[in-house]
Amino acid sequence: MGIFNGLDISASGLTAQRFRMDVASSNIANTDTTRETMVNGRWQPYTRKVVHLSSIGPSFESVFQNSLGSSAGGVEVSAVTNDPAPYRMKYDPSDPDADPNGYVRMPNVDPLKEMVDLMDANRSYEAGVTVMNANKNMLLRALDIGR
């Protein structure tokens, strides 16, 4: 395991959490977007995006059994998928996107859920910054020993 692997692992986590915050912000920004894509001549509302993360490199068990092998780990965005939840229906017959019954299909974005996801990603990002700072301080102390 190299001296900078800890920084690389922390950086991958920071990048992934930043991406989660960007996607949650995009979901919040499109809470009322009723025209995202056109399918079969009909506008579809914005569909909530969900970020999936996966680990990079070996599992903890394999690293432990190989006595801290030389490969680094971390986290990466493995996929961004559409949430399969149904769209919300809002009664507004004056809306140009209303169906013959007066209902408008609204995005399946729940602002409360998005704020919770945003807070979770923010806390994870802060934890990653703390780990990176601790790793940086250890490296600086190691340099002080060499003087």
pLDDT in tens, 90-125: 999 999 888 999 999 999 999 999 999 999 999 999
> How far, in Å, CA of 3 to CA of 135, rounded?
10
Residue 64, domain extent:
5-146
Q: How many domains does the chain have?
A: 1
Query: What pLDDT is recorded for position 67?
Result: 54
DSSP letter string, 38-99: EETTEEE----EEEEEEEES--HHHHHHTTS-S---EEEEEEEEE--SPPEEEE-TTSTT--
Tens of pLDDT, residue by residue over 20-61, are 999 999 999 999 999 888 888 888 999 999 999 998 876 666
Is the whole-model pTM more than 0.75? yes
